[in-house]
């Protein structure tokens, strides 16, 4: 782990840590799995981990370190914590949205947010959205917000049309 990294997101899965890390590293550029640790004999009664099975997977997404744990069931992800993916273009937004939402519940998608098939929440948003929402003209910002709230996957061209009026 780079010395400058102080905070690393730690994701608790029931048993999908390795599968999730493989998916995420296949989606984001400059990503890789850096380490896989396995459960040993010690602590099986406490951890529930079968000796030899994957305990943690350390990985990087576009250089940002993460750790995924195969803990035990019962600790579910919620929308209270999400990962924001800032996209420079509609093509980039489409790439991340389509890959992260594959196999996920479409009902858990709203205004750029989605839950992936593991239940992890992501915000896939164009960087242009922040500029549109920060417009000093409150009418333009309001129209942009109204358009955004009606969308699942964000559409940059439609947001800009709404902003323009």
Nearest alpha carbon to residue 143 among 153, 123, 129, 122: 129
Q: Which two tokens mark 89?
A: 């273009």
Cα separation, 45 vs 59, whole angstroms? 27
- C-alpha–C-alpha distance, residues 155 and 89, integer Å: 10
Q: Mind listing the pLDDT tens digit for each residue in 62-110?
A: 999 999 999 988 899 999 999 999 999 999 999 999 999 999 999 999 9
Q: Which of 2-6, 63-67, 121-125 has the lowest mean pLDDT?
A: 2-6
65 has which bridge partners?
60
Instruction: Give the pLDDT of residue 20.
Output: 98
Q: What is the SS3 assignment for the chain?
A: CCCCCCCCCEEEECCCHHHHHHHHHHHCCCCEEEEEEECCCCCHHHHCCCCCCEEEEEEEECCEEEEEEECCCCCCCCCCCEEEEEECCHHHHHHHHHHHHCCCCHHHCECCEEECCCCCEEEEEEHHHHHHHCCCCHHHHHHHHHHHHCCCCCCHHHHHHHHHC
Q: What is the mean pLDDT of the chain?
A: 94
Is the pLDDT at 1 greater than 50? The verdict is no
> Considering the domain 82-164 in this protein, what is its CATH number?
3.10.180.10
pLDDT-derived band at 154, boundaries 50, 70, 90: very high
**pLDDT in the model for residue 44:** 72
Domain ranges of the chain: 10-70, 82-164
Please state the pTM of the whole predicted model.
0.91
Question: Does the pLDDT at position 56 exceed 80?
Answer: yes
Residues 6 or more apart in contact with residue 136 via CB below 8 angstroms: none
pLDDT band of residue 41 (cuts 50, 70, 90) is confident
Taking residues 45-64, what's their average pLDDT? 91
Q: What is the pLDDT of residue 4?
A: 62
Fold of 10-70: 3.30.720
pLDDT score of 46 more than 80 = no
Written as six digits, the tokens of 160 are 């800009």
């Amino acid at each position: 782990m780079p010395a400058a990294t102080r905070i690393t997101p730690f994701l608790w899965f029931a048993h999908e840590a390795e599968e999730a890390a493989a998916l995420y590293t296949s989606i984001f550029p400059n990503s890789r799995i850096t380490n896989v640790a396995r459960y040993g004999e010690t602590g099986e009664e406490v951890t529930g981990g079968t000796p030899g099975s994957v305990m943690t997977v350390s990985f990087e997404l576009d250089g940002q370190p993460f750790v995924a744990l195969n803990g035990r069931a019962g600790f579910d992800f919620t929308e209270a914590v999400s990962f924001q993916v800032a996209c420079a273009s509609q093509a980039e937004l489409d790439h991340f949205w389509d890959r992260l939402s594959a196999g996920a519940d479409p009902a858990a998608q709203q205004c750029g947010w989605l839950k992936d098939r593991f239940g992890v929440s992501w915000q896939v948003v164009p960087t242009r959205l922040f500029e549109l929402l920060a417009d000093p003209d409150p009418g333009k910002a309001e129209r942009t917000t109204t358009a955004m709230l009606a969308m699942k996957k964000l559409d940059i061209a439609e947001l800009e049309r709404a902003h323009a009026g």
